[in-house]
Structure 1
Amino acid sequence: MEITLGGIAGLIAALAFVVLVIFLARVLSNVNRTLGSVANTTENLERQLDGITMEVTALLHKTNRLVDNVEEKTELLAPVAHALDELGTSLNEVTESVRTVSTSVHSAADENKEQIAQAVRWGSVAVELFKKNKPEASASKERPRRRTRREKKAETPVSPDLIQTDDTIK
């Protein structure tokens, strides 16, 4: 067997091809592992996205129900708000009416001071008569003692002239 230059060149080419195939096999093996890992990651992402999608869908349904519920409550509260507005207007009118009546009563009181003083005197007389003729509350357990005719005669009648009052109203 003779080794020729062409044979050596063929042998070198064959060895280079074998080395190339070995390196390509290693690269393809690494690519295969990488693609397998990518496939696993993609599957995991798909499962997670499916779960997230279901949760987001459920959340959207709940949100839509809450929005509908809030809209219903808002519609129910609209008459209440309107009623409160009318109540405020009515209260303003009542306040203005009370202010007007108060002003007119004040001016009437200024004009009729003497008559009011007389009415106060008569009211005081009425209170005094009521107090004198009222049975005692402490004697509710015991029978009240009857007054004799002498005691009744000894009482002096109360009249507006006997009670002193200040004629000016402050």
Structure 2
Amino acid sequence: MQLNVSLSDLKRHAKTTPSAFISLMICLVFTAWSLYISRNIWILIMAIPFILGLTLIPIKISQMNKELSDQLLPEYIHYANEYNISEINKDTLNQRVKIVGKLDKIIYGISTKPTIRIKDDTGEIFSNLISPVPEGIKKGDIIELYGVVAKHYKFFGIMGIPNLWKPKIYGIGVRKI
């Protein structure tokens, strides 16, 4: 396994995966504090695998998801039908879709997979992307979103009360227009 990581990759990773970055910072602070209090170098030596894991594993997962997105996006560009957001309903469930609209919000949470909100003249919809938003795309840009329509339950996310769901897009990729 080869992992080429530059300083810019680390900065982008810290921005796009705040929970992994915060976990790494907490581990570093506790390691430094424990080392300072105990003056025992073995604490640092034992912490190195955890620090490397908290750094490299999320970066590798993010790279693998980006590669998957790059592989699937050309197929979706070719085969996905274009829809307005108001046309996304239970009849389009599990369909490949293309939506053109304004990127209204980017939410980075626990995983390396952000949630975005896209709006067009007919409405708005949320999408979970499989990889971070490409560089150069920011809030307010007009984008093409490619993905699959899925159920999002209003109270419990992926599982919940039948008939209390709304459509959501599992995004394969995003392109700026």
Q: Same fold (TM over 0.5)?
A: no
TM-score (norm 2): 0.26
Q: Which has more strand, going by share of residues?
A: 2
Q: Relative contact order (alpha carbons < 8 A, sep ≥ 6): 1 or 2 greater?
A: 1
- Flag the structure with larger Rg: 1
TM-score (norm 1): 0.27
Q: Which has more helix, going by share of residues?
A: 1
